[in-house]
Amino acid sequence: MVGVRQQAAFHSDRDANGRPLSASEREKLLKPYLPAAPKTQATAQPQQNGKQAKLFTHKPRVRPAIRHAIHYLLFTIIHTVFSVYIRVRQVYHAVVDRVLAILYYHHRTPELIKRDVKNLSKVPQHLSVILQLPPEGGKKDRLETLVNDACEVAAWSACAGVPMLSIYERTGRAYAMHRIDVKAKANGVAGILKSSLPHLHRRIERNLISYYGATSPLKPTVSLRAPHLPSYSPPHSPEPSSNGTTESSRPHITILLISASDGRQTLVDLTRTLASMAQDQKLQPADISAELIDAEISESVMGEPDLLICFGDRVVLDGYPPWQVRLTEIYGVQDHVGGVEYHVFLRGLYRFAKAEMRFGR
């Protein structure tokens, strides 16, 4: 970085007396701050003079070594200090997380969730979450945990009045019936895989019942969908609208399940189709526009979500569909290790509404 005086000179493009700078003057200003010129000629020269020159040319050995040692020492110190710092930060965040988790807990009561989001100026029309398949070797069954998380998020969104929820999970295993292969069955994870959409729908429905009660007229209806699979929304016939509430008065939530294959792969598939059309002379490459792609992609997968919540410890998209995240607000909690938790969800909604979150309700 250049010094203050030089900086001012560059800023106004004038020297201290107010005369405009010429190109060479500017270079003179910068000279001391530049790295050494690449030593391509310097190494070539001494060899011409032979042995004698070699004897007398001083080749710096000690100084670079010392410099390297100092750098390495400093590097170690920085990282030691930093890892202490990051541990402290992690602890701090963990404490904040715990406190928030206690203060804001939903107690499986839709009214509490409603009260939490009541003061928000806006609620995302399309919420998206990134779930992660827990690593193998945990205490619980991985897929079971995943399905549980999905059900919980679905219930919170339904209570918060989000009309559209998309759940991204990289492998797409919790629901991808059509992607099961023999290997997966052999690995013994086939229990839930057999299920696919109807099963997950049943689970979500059961979870909602645990929130709302079985007969509540406010219980939202759910339709479950995955790209390239027909939408699954069973008839809500068992309880005909006898008690005055019509079907339309009940909130409805659409849940979309997406996986990594709906990201880049979809764009590749689209390109394949377009390429074969172009080969058959049905389309000129010049006709391909962003609007065309957008229309195709949003029809076959989904539109742009308003808010994306990552439940990991840092913000990594991890294969999330690239085309759609253009203007999406991305939310992740720093150093969060607790997985899918209600307060993270709520903080995401607060961020989206640009609202301050205060301790206590």
Partner 1 sequence: MATTHGTSLRRWLMSLPPLEWTVQRLRELLIGSLKCGPIPQHIAFVMDGNRRYARNHKLETVEGHHLGFEALARVLEVCYKSGVRVVTIYAFSIENFKRSRWEVDALMDMAKTKLVQMSQHGELFDRYGASVRILGDRSLVREDVIREVDRAVDMTAHNEQAVLNVCFPYTSREEITHSIRETVRDFSRAPEKPRHTKRPFSESHIQRNIRSRQLSSVTEEDRPRRASMTFTRDDGTNINSDAESTEISDQDFLDSASTLQPASSQTSHSTSPILNPTSTTTALASSLSPHSAQHLLDPETLTEAHLTKNTYTAAAPPLDLLIRTSGVYRLSDFMLWQCHEHTELRFLDCLWPEFDLWTFLPVLVEWQWRQRRERSGKGAEAGGVDTAIKVA
Residues in region 67-86 near partner 1 by CB under 8 A: 67, 70-75, 78-79, 82-83, 86
Asked if residue 327 binds partner 1 (CB under 8 A), the reply is: yes
Q: Which CB atom, from 211 or from 323, has the smaller least distance to partner 1?
A: 323
* Interactions with partner 1, residue window 32-61 (CB under 8 A): 33-35, 37-38
Give the SS3 label for residue 14: strand
Contact 177, 154 (CB under 8 A): no
C-alpha–C-alpha distance, residues 44 and 65, integer Å = 23
By CB under 8 A, tell whether 4 contacts partner 1: yes
Residue 3 — left, alpha, or beta (φ > 0 → left; ψ -120 to 50 → alpha)?
beta
The reply to whether 293 sits near partner 1 by the rule CB under 8 A is yes
In whole angstroms, how close is the CB of 312 to partner 1 at the nearest point? 11
With binding defined as CB under 8 A, does residue 319 bind partner 1?
yes
**Per-residue contact flags (x/-) with partner 1 for residues 260 to 279, judged by CB under 8 A:** ---xxx-xx-xxxxxxx-xx
User: CB-wise, 202 or 272, nearer to partner 1?
Assistant: 272
- From 112-120, 129-137, 199-207, 220-228, span contacting partner 1 (CB under 8 A): 129-137
- Residue 243 or 281 having the CB closest to partner 1: 281
Go through the chain and tell me how many residues it has: 361
Interface region with partner 1, contact rule CB under 8 A, candidates 54-62, 96-104, 165-173, 227-235: 165-173
- Tell which positions 336-355 bind partner 1, by CB under 8 A: 351
Q: Which of residues 172-191 bind partner 1 (CB under 8 A)?
A: 172-173, 179, 183-184, 187, 189
Q: Is there binding between residue 20 and partner 1 (CB under 8 A)? A: no
Q: How far is CA 34 from CA 6, 14, 27, 63, in A?
A: 13, 21, 10, 20
Coil, strand or helix at 334: coil
Cβ neighbours of 301 (radius 10 Å):
20
298 binds partner 1 (CB under 8 A): no
Residue number with CB closer to partner 1 (38 or 230): 38
Angle at the Cα of 227 from the Cα atoms of 306 and 123, rounded to 5 degrees: 20
Adjacent-strand bridge partners of 256: 166, 225
Q: Which residue, 57 or 276, is less far from partner 1 as judged by CB?
A: 276
Please name the residue ranges forming H helices in 45-170. Answer: 50-56, 62-103, 110-118, 142-160
Annotate 273-302 with DSSP letters as a single string: HHHHHHHTTS--GGG--HHHHHHHHHHHT-
Q: Which two tokens stand for residue 105?
A: 């807990």
Phi, psi of 127 (to 5 degrees): -105, 145
Q: Which is nearer to partner 1, 102 or 286 (CB)?
A: 286
| Least Å from the CB of residue 9 to partner 1 | 12
Assess 62 for contact with partner 1 (CB under 8 A): no
Instruction: Name which of 49 and 300 has its Cβ closer to partner 1.
Output: 300
| Least Cβ distance, residue 315 to partner 1 (angstroms) | 4
What are the C-alpha distances in Å from 321 to residues 41, 128, 314?
A: 50, 11, 18
